[in-house]
Amino acid sequence: MIELLASLIILTVGAALSYKDIRISLVASIVAVLAMMAGGNAYSALILSVALLNIFSLYAMRQNQIAGVDYALVAIMAVATLYVFMVDDLAMMLVLFMVVSAPTYLLVMVSDEKLNVDVGIKYVTFMVIATVLFIIGAVLLYSATDPLVYSLAFLMLIVGLSMEVGIAPVHEWVPDVFASADPIPVSIIASLAKFVPFIIAYKIIIATATPSLWPLLIVLGLIAAVSMFAGNIGALTTNEPSRILAYSTIANMGYILATFVAVTAGKEYVYFAIAGGLLQLFVNSFGKVGYFASIKNGGTSLIPAYILAFSFIGLPPLMGFWSKLFIIYSLVYSQFIWLAVILVLNSAISVPYYIRLARLLGTGWKFNLMSAIVLFASIAMLITLIPPMWFVDLVSLMKGV
């Protein structure tokens, strides 16, 4: 708790002092996130990496409208993401949900040139509905006694979650926002902002699970399947990199949603499911940061481009392989084999457009900050050269699981 307070103070002071020199805010934000990492496990280290990549990519567009404050916004999102690992009471979780969601409303409109208000309106509309559904659903789940109310609450939570992160069939904001907004804020939305909704949803569902869950799990599985197909098939004929990435996000969110069906399985499979989901979130984060950075940069070297592509496709020994492996493992042992098959099929369908993406963006190396970010993002994909069973053990440390 004390670390939380300290971090918040540091980043606020830094944001305030940023009128003098934005680099004060830069440093203060980084310090704030580091301060929050008191516990220090692999999860925090990875979140720190994502946050750092996001902060530094903001430095590359330091002429934006809210220069200085933007670092603090990212820092507070990172702090919240780190803190959510350790909480399990509903009130705090919902607060953290808002803390992560709200900064993105502002960030999405920010750019080097003029403010993107249209995009902001579309985005905020969706987010507000999402938030409302999510919160009502969460609260009702905790107090539901009647199976009918429980079902309603459960599905409201899921639909809220879907709209928040961009799962079909309520994904319509994703392609438009990803294509029109500035790549760097988009990379923040596409990476850091996705963790908290999923983690909170995991905790809530596990805490409130009842035996009457099974038809709802099938509906959930269907939604996940629809999202996977819509994302992957939609990306096949797209030629614009940011749109391809939008559909890729939709598909990846589908993969992660699929892990929810394992919550009623045995303890071991739940760990694999959540580990798979989290690892997939990391894959998604690093990958999107890397690719959006290269879009902003006008291209990058072939090797990082292909490493990111192969990780998304799921080639061993990159991170993307392990995340999908854990997900499939948990699905198969929860008797949702059809969903596992669909996931594998979708991985296969996704190959052409990732390769196309790598080819479109792998044009040439430039020595600047953006390229460094891409490089680090692709290196992050390689950490699973050490098989990540340590990640599964990590999940068991998560409070409320």
Partner 1 sequence: MSEVVELPMMTEMLALLFLTPVIASIPIAVAWGMHPRPDWARKLPVLSVAGLFVSLCVALYILFNIGELSPEAEPVKHTIYWLPEFNINFVFIFDYLSKLMGALTALIAFLIGVYGLEYMRDDYRLGWYWFFFNLFTASMLLVVYSDNLLMLLIGWEGLGIASWGLIGHWFRDDDELTYVGILKRKVAGLDMFWSPSTGGWRAISTIRIGDMPMFFAIGALYFLTGNINISEIPWAGLEEKIGVAGVVILLVAFLMGPFTKSAQLPFSEWLMTAMTGPTTVSALLHSATMVAAGTYIFMRLSWYIEPWEHHLLSYEYVYILVLFLGLVSSLYAALVATSSLERKVLLAASTMSSLGLMFASAAASYWVGKFAVLVAFWYLITHAFAKATLFLVAGHLIHETHDRFLCGDTEVAKKLKWAFVATVIATIFLSGIPPFTAYWVKSGMDGVMHHLEHDFGLLPLALLVVISAIYSGFLGKFLSMNFFKGKKVHLHLHGGGIMSTAYLVMVSMLIVILAVILTSHEEPFKEFVKEGLLTSSFAVGVIVLLAYSFGFFKPQIKSPIGQFLSDRMYVMFLNDYIVPKIGWAIAKVVDYGNRLIDFTCHQAIPGMFEVYSHGVRFIQNGKLERYLQIVVGFVLLIFVVAVAAGWMT
Binding site for partner 1 (CB under 8 A): 121-122, 125-126, 129, 133, 146-152, 154-156, 159, 163, 169-170, 172-173, 175-176, 212, 214-216, 219, 230, 233-238, 247, 349
Q: Would you mind telling me the total number of residues written for the chain in this entry? A: 401
Q: Hey, what are 344's tokens?
A: 């594998």
**Toward partner 1, which CB reaches closer, 33 or 174?**
174
One-letter amino acid at 290 equals G
In angstroms, give the least distance from the CB of 229 to partner 1.
8
| CB neighbour class for 243 (10 Å; exposed up to 12, middle 13-18, buried from 19) | middle
Distance, CA of 258 to CA of 255 (rounded, Å): 5
34-55 burial by CB neighbour count: b if 16+ within 10 A, else e? bbbbeeeeebbebbbbbbbbbb
In angstroms, give the least distance from the CB of 145 to partner 1.
12
In angstroms, give the least distance from the CB of 242 to partner 1.
13
In angstroms, give the least distance from the CB of 326 to partner 1.
28
> For residue 315, what are the contacts with CB-CB under 8 A and spacing of at least 6?
321
**Toward partner 1, which CB reaches closer, 5 or 236?**
236
Q: Hey, what are 239's tokens?
A: 């030629």
**Toward partner 1, which CB reaches closer, 207 or 233?**
233
**Toward partner 1, which CB reaches closer, 214 or 367?**
214
One-letter amino acid at 67 equals A
Q: Please name which of 146, 154, 137, 142 lies closest in space to residue 263, comparing C-alpha atoms.
A: 154
In angstroms, give the least distance from the CB of 219 to partner 1.
6
**Toward partner 1, which CB reaches closer, 48 or 226?**
226
One-letter amino acid at 338 equals W
The most distant pair of C-alpha atoms in the chain lies apart, rounded to whole Å, by 61
In angstroms, give the least distance from the CB of 151 to partner 1.
4
**Toward partner 1, which CB reaches closer, 2 or 146?**
146
**Toward partner 1, which CB reaches closer, 84 or 263?**
263
In angstroms, give the least distance from the CB of 239 to partner 1.
11
Percentages helix, strand, coil for the chain (3-state, rounded to 5) are 80, 0, 20
In angstroms, give the least distance from the CB of 55 to partner 1.
31
**Toward partner 1, which CB reaches closer, 115 or 236?**
236
Q: Please name which of 73, 99, 101 lies closest in space to residue 87, comparing C-alpha atoms.
A: 99
Q: Find where tokens 């539901």 sit.
A: 144
Tally the C-alpha atoms within 13 A of residue 51's C-alpha that lie toward its C-beta: 31
Residues 229 and 256: beta-carbon distance below 8 Å: no
Query: What is the separation of C-alpha 329 from the centre of its chain, rounded to a whole number of angstroms?
Result: 21
Q: Hey, what are 78's tokens?
A: 């990172």
In angstroms, give the least distance from the CB of 210 to partner 1.
9
**Toward partner 1, which CB reaches closer, 212 or 335?**
212
One-letter amino acid at 8 equals L
